[in-house]
């Protein structure tokens, strides 16, 4: 019962959260860049250049304003099996897609761009209640007369970037650029469950457990880009410097109540701290890409490298003394080196209409090396919740005199095997939950975006200069 409902909720939240934080290419930004699955380091031409390669800003002719119109995504999670020898469990949700808006301008003969980027957006709260007194419970508690369990998990992740980019042409073929993003990051998690028994002896047993944490971080992300143009090929490189944290804060709370238990293990414990030292780290990375002209069509190639991180503590939670037992609360993170690759394409159909497609890998950087969610067990087992994804995309770019309309679909899929250790403080009845489950996570995004040039730039005789679209 409690294991059954807890796993349904917990697995779902883990894959939504980890799919964004442990995978560097889970979300893409900029209308055309989304439909090219981010394979645009050497060829980006939309406002996503602030993220993918700021050097490309020097090639933009039109000062304009661009935004991702409100798009949506459908996430589906399959757990097979959840119960030993049982049927798979499926769960789906429909949510909004992280957005981007920004524009370009010239000042003192220099090229600039501004952008707001909603990099992460996760907010899930799931709860379940069960009150059936079934055979499995009666086998363990034959004197039980009534049973009630409540379980809930919640997850809230938000990472907002506010950026300014600059670019300069060193000569007709070579450009450099830099983007500076200020970042506000918030990560909140909560987990709770309770189970209550009433026995034929008129005894009542109650067990309650809840923990919560909150981490906030303020800092800067810096990207340095370069772009070189040959006659048929554009080559770009983008260096992501390590995250520079300026300020951070954290909190943690744990509450345990056990009363009337048959093993006489009654317990009352409550801990809460608002002043826990917190830190956030993101490693450096390098992306390299090429845009290859094939007649009036174009092929986009990309390689992305993200460095590893040694294990560190994201929250320094003090050791707790629970019922005379020292208990370590672990909130560590460790990342491994990751290499991703991808390919995208633009197929010319007619003067103002082209098709876009893309493919990219998205390998997990956390898997098996992080124990965010095992925060109250004395053994502090590591939790392998990371997943390797593939991303596919397709759509069209339709240009009008007054704007460019882009719409299409993206598809993401990943699988993983996972097991979660039981809580040390509350032992629920046996429900036959599988020791290991295969998790399949998939996502479909419906992408619609506009780019509107509101100030027409001066035309250029440089054939390398392109319009923003």
pLDDT in tens, 338-386: 999 999 999 999 988 999 999 999 998 986 545 544 443 333 333 345 6
Q: Is the pLDDT of residue 51 over 70?
A: yes
Q: Identify the pLDDT of residue 70.
A: 54
Output 30 or 263, whichever has higher pLDDT: 30
Report residue 467's pLDDT band, with 50, 70 and 90 as the boundaries: very low
Q: Is the pLDDT of residue 289 over 90?
A: yes
Q: Is the pLDDT of residue 299 over 70?
A: yes
Mean pLDDT of 271-298: 94
Report residue 435's pLDDT band, with 50, 70 and 90 as the boundaries: low
Give the domain ranges of the chain: 2-455
Report residue 169's pLDDT band, with 50, 70 and 90 as the boundaries: very high
Q: Is the pLDDT of residue 292 over 80?
A: yes
Q: pLDDT exceeding 70 applies to what percent of the chain?
A: 75
Could you give the CA distance from residue 433 to residue 81 in angstroms, rounded to a whole number? Answer: 8
Distances (CA, A) of 403 to 17, 66, 392, 456: 35, 10, 26, 12
Mean pLDDT of 312-337: 86
Output 170 or 403, whichever has higher pLDDT: 170
Contact present, 239 and 223 (Cβ < 8 Å): yes
Q: Is the pLDDT of residue 167 over 90?
A: yes
| 26-30, 108-112, 368-372: least confident range | 368-372
Q: Identify the pLDDT of residue 57.
A: 92
| pLDDT (tens digit per residue) in 225-262 | 999 999 999 999 999 999 999 999 999 998 988 888 76
Residues 6+ apart with CB under 8 A from 213: 187, 188, 189, 190, 250, 251, 252, 253, 315, 331, 375
Is residue 49 within a helix (H) or strand (E), and if so which, with residue range? Answer: helix 49-52
Exposure of 402 by Cβ count < 10 A (0-12 exposed, 13-18 middle, 19+ buried)? exposed
Length of the chain, in residues: 469
Output 62 or 133, whichever has higher pLDDT: 133
Report residue 171's pLDDT band, with 50, 70 and 90 as the boundaries: very high
Mean pLDDT of 28-35: 88
pTM across the whole model: 0.82
Output 395 or 6, whichever has higher pLDDT: 395
Cis peptide before 81 (omega within 30 of 0): yes
Q: Identify the pLDDT of residue 221.
A: 97
Is domain 2-455 in CATH 2.40.160.60, yes or no?
A: yes
Exposure of 31 by Cβ count < 10 A (0-12 exposed, 13-18 middle, 19+ buried)? buried
Mean pLDDT of 309-316: 91
Q: Identify the pLDDT of residue 4.
A: 45
Output 254 or 17, whichever has higher pLDDT: 254
| DSSP 3-state of 407 | strand
Dihedral in degrees, nearest 10, Cα atoms 80, 81, 85, 90: -70
Half-sphere exposure of 74 (CA within 13 A, CB side): 7
Residues 6+ apart with CB under 8 A from 350: none
Output 263 or 422, whichever has higher pLDDT: 263
| 128-142, 193-207, 303-317: least confident range | 128-142
Q: Identify the pLDDT of residue 374.
A: 45
Q: Is the pLDDT of residue 90 over 80?
A: no
Q: Identify the pLDDT of residue 47.
A: 86
Q: Is the pLDDT of residue 157 over 50?
A: yes
Q: Identify the pLDDT of residue 201.
A: 83
Report residue 165's pLDDT band, with 50, 70 and 90 as the boundaries: very high
Could you give the CA distance from residue 312 to residue 331 in angstroms, rounded to a whole number? Answer: 9
Q: What average pLDDT does the structure give for the chain?
A: 80
Q: Identify the pLDDT of residue 107.
A: 83
Residue written as token pair 């798979």 = 88
Q: Identify the pLDDT of residue 66.
A: 61
Mean pLDDT of 13-24: 62
Distances (CA, A) of 271 to 55, 133, 187, 238, 278: 50, 33, 20, 45, 18
């Amino acid at each position: 019962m409690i294991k059954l409902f807890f796993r349904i909720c917990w697995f779902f939240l883990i894959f939504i959260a980890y799919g964004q934080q442990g995978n560097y290419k889970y979300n893409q930004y900029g209308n055309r860049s989304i439909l090219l699955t981010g394979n645009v380091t050497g060829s980006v031409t939309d406002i996503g250049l602030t993220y993918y390669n700021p050097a490309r800003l020097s090639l933009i002719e039109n000062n304009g304003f661009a935004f991702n119109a409100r798009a949506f995504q459908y996430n589906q999670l399959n757990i097979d099996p959840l119960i030993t020898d049982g049927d798979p469990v499926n769960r789906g949700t429909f949510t909004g897609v992280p957005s981007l808006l920004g524009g370009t301008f010239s000042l003192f003969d220099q090229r600039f761009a501004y952008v707001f980027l909603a990099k992460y957006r996760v907010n899930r709260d799931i709860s379940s209640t069960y009150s059936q007194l079934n055979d499995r419970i009666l086998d363990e508690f034959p004197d039980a007369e009534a049973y009630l369990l409540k379980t809930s998990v919640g997850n809230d992740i938000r990472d907002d970037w506010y950026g300014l980019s600059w670019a300069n042409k060193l000569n007709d073929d070579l450009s450099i650029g830099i983007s500076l993003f200020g970042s506000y990051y918030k990560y909140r998690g909560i987990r709770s469950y309770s189970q209550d028994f009433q026995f034929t002896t008129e005894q009542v047993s109650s067990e309650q457990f809840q923990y919560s944490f909150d981490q906030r971080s303020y800092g800067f992300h810096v990207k340095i880009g370069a772009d070189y143009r040959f006659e048929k090929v554009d080559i770009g490189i983008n260096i992501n410097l390590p995250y520079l944290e300026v300020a951070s804060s954290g909190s943690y709370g744990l509450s345990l109540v056990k009363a009337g238990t048959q093993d006489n293990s009654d317990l009352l414990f409550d801990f809460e701290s608002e002043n826990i030292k917190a830190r956030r780290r993101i490693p450096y990375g390098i992306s390299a890409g090429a845009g290859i002209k094939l007649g009036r069509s174009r092929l986009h190639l990309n390689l992305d490298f993200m460095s590893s991180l040694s294990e560190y503590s994201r929250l320094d939670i003090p050791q707790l003394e629970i019922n005379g037992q020292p208990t370590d609360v672990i909130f560590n993170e460790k990342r491994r080196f990751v290499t991703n690759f991808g390919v995208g394409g633009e197929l010319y159909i007619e003067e103002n209409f082209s098709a876009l497609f893309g493919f990219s890998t998205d390998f997990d950087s956390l898997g098996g090396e992080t124990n965010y969610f095992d925060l109250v067990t004395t053994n502090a087992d590591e939790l392998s919740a990371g997943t390797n994804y593939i991303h596919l995309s397709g759509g069209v770019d339709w240009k009008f005199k007054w704007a460019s309309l882009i719409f299409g679909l993206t598809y993401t899929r990943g699988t993983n095997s996972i097991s979660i250790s039981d809580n040390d403080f509350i032992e629920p009845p046996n429900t036959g939950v599988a020791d290991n489950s295969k998790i399949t996570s998939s996502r479909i995004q419906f992408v619609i975006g506009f780019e509107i040039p509101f100030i027409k730039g001066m035309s250029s005789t440089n054939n390398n200069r392109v319009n923003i679209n």
